[in-house]
Structure 1
Amino acid sequence: MKIATIKTGLASLAMLPGLVMAAPAVADKADNAFMMICTALVLFMTIPGIALFYGGLIRGKNVLSMLTQVTVTFALVCILWVVYGYSLAFGEGNNFFGNINWLMLKNIELTAVMGSIYQYIHVAFQGSFACITVGLIVGALAERIRFSAVLIFVVVWLTLSYIPIAHMVWGGGLLASHGALDFAGGTVVHINAAIAGLVGAYLIGKRVGFGKEAFKPHNLPMVFTGTAILYIGWFGFNAGSAGTANEIAALAFVNTVVATAAAILGWIFGEWALRGKPSLLGACSGAIAGLVGVTPACGYIGVGGALIIGVVAGLAGLWGVTMLKRLLRVDDPCDVFGVHGVCGIVGCIMTGIFAASFAGWRGLR
């Protein structure tokens, strides 16, 4: 009788994995805390990170205008994201847009869980990405666009560009169905913002005196401070894209450190060879180049891949803000396309290379 009872108990234990799989998703407190911290870090990248970084790059007479534009567009995107952005980006829908079931976050229960985190945290995390993407574009339009025009542009661009791209890549849309790899925003954030900035810079024209005057950064310590804030915040940006505090988040974290360091050295030595001496602006720009380059790849590749991406991104970014900028003849005051566009493209291409099994990282392809 005892033997039969034991056998019955063992059989019941064998069924536990199936029972666990059938159980509803449960929020994990550690993962929720991790994702809230990551969300705060990404928000910190926009205010004050991007604001200070761009504010130091432009002329002193326009710095308050830049800080105002970044702050107000940040607030505007937050509202638009809650009203309709999240629903259209992450709701079930077609290849380009989601649905309207989550307008004003209605129909999202307080206890709704995505993976192991509450859905409200997912809303905030993805909203922080939308905020910083818009903030990046402002740098390309600096010093010659009306405040009202910026606000109109943000509404139109967020609706017709950011939201569909986010849905296509992260919301189960067209690119996701074709196997697109973008761990933390190389396509959705950086390339998307850079192309918008490039087109916008062409459309609104050049600043008065462009090509005749030297438009130098008015405050390099301000640029350095902004860079430091962006660097720290980027760990929330990349590691947080894992969605949980797991081994993939750890990998993304380490790869972010490695790629940034490699890009700083790549940019500095390239600048040294090109101009005869390194500079603080070059080191700051190299850091951003490495962060951008590793963003699409950080959770998919090994550390060796991150090192190579960092070096290549550093050199590519230097080329983007010197030779390519002259070739394009565009007035991009904060080098949005030269850094975010060029390095984002490099990072996305190299993601496909280093995420492949032959590159030594197993588990994806």
Structure 2
Amino acid sequence: MKIIIISPAFPPNRDGVGDYTFVLADGLADKNEVIIVTSKLKGVKSESKNKFHVIREIDKWGGLDLFHILSICKNFSPELVIIQYVSFMYGRGGINLTFPLLSVLLRIRYSVFTMLHELFTPFGFSIKTFLMSLIQRLMLFFLIIGSDRIGVSIKVWERVLKRFFFWRKGDFRWIPIPSNIKISTKTNIPEKLSRFNKKPLLAFFGSLHITKIMEFLTASLDALVKKGYDAGLIVIGQDENEISAYIKELPDYLRERIFCTGYCSSEDVSQYLSITDIFLLPLIDGVSSRRTSLMAALKHGLPVVTTKGFLTDDIFLQENFTLLSPSTDKALFAANVVRVAEDEKLRDATGKKGREAYEKYFSEKLMIERYLDHAFSMKK
């Protein structure tokens, strides 16, 4: 089957959706002919990988660029077009009313599958945010109209969209986001961390987005230190400048126990995770199946202490493979961290359950199978 994947980001871009697209393309290319259409990147040309071809010719994702995408599709004649969608990736300020019309035009001739990584910005409390959210909802509406099938990264969104597009309930499917971090075969401690000999070693991995509750990380570290542990916290993927605003007010005895790795390759991330004792992921909106940092931790068999909120998938509440607390309860989150640190059997059992849950529900192989199953269910 010929497949075109449209994604504004693709490696070497440092972007989660780009990494996700690479994993998807790599898996689909085992038995299909795959082309990725992505943004121009200075110094990087279109290229043929071992398994697929990358076309880096799109500039602003509007106007003439859309006709260029239609031209590429016409020349390649794909049986399936997959769109990776995050509103902010297709337009400055998250607004691009012309791009969703592309899916409408594509659907006239091709089967279109759109993967929704995010839906839209919440209305918020300012006129600017309200208008942005309103326009992004309109963009989403036209994108869905222009799609035969739609994948969503969390169950809550699947339920919401099925309710609003009730006549198309069968067109939506939950497709969790897997980890894009391969487990490293190296067993040595990263050189950067060789002098940071702390136990237990806590880890946080990912961006410092507003949805991450950084205060919970330092509260957990403080709780362990006050219990007599020589604990430490590694912040994977961020440097000290990026996290300075969060730690500058901390007392010295905590600040000296926090180690920032800076930007990491996938192999470096895997090495850091491999020496971690407890993985922390405090989220305002709650843990969900779109969090790739969580998936990396589960894949590596780490016990995960996280939070539940309005976006938390049912599977996290029904199956006990992470330690959950409300996103409003800092004390309980820290208590869960201490509990895991004190109980080796709980630590091992939670890590094992997490790894098993990853293979059962979230793995890369399952993602590819879900895409193809949903795609082959289309009737043109």
For normalisation by structure 2, the TM-score amounts to 0.28
**Relative contact order, higher structure (CA 8 A, sep 6+):** 1
Higher strand share goes to which structure? Answer: 2
For normalisation by structure 1, the TM-score amounts to 0.29
